[in-house]
Amino acid sequence: MSIYLTPQMLNPDFRPQQASERFGIIRRVSRSVVRKWRRRKLIATLEALDDRLLRDIGIVRGDIKHLVDGFDDRELRTVPVTPAHTATWLEGEGFKKAA
């Protein structure tokens, strides 16, 4: 007689991979949700830029969604500079601190 119980003793149909399969499904779903969130966030940020800035980086406003769809996970993790950040620097905030 065994002094400990194993999952196979309690349930003969138990497969050790069941738990890892469940976590794999959860991992894939969470990655998909995060990827879609990052995609929407990047699209919103690019659409917030004015046409001059988009033209400077070589993007046409109508191609933003198509362009972002081609990005991989590494590219979607990048943090773009938003107009709010550039506006404070352009207003001379950086020069006030230096002077």
At residue 67, the pLDDT reads: 92
Give the closest residue to 33 by CA, choosing from 80, 67, 68, 73. 73
Model-level pTM greater than 0.85? no
Give the separation between CA 28 and CA 59, rounded to whole angstroms. 31
CA distances from 97 to 82, 88, 92, 94 (A): 21, 12, 9, 5
Q: Is 72 left (phi over 0), alpha (psi -120 to 50) or beta?
A: beta
Tens-digit pLDDT profile for residues 17-70: 666 676 788 888 999 999 999 999 989 988 988 899 899 989 999 999 999 999
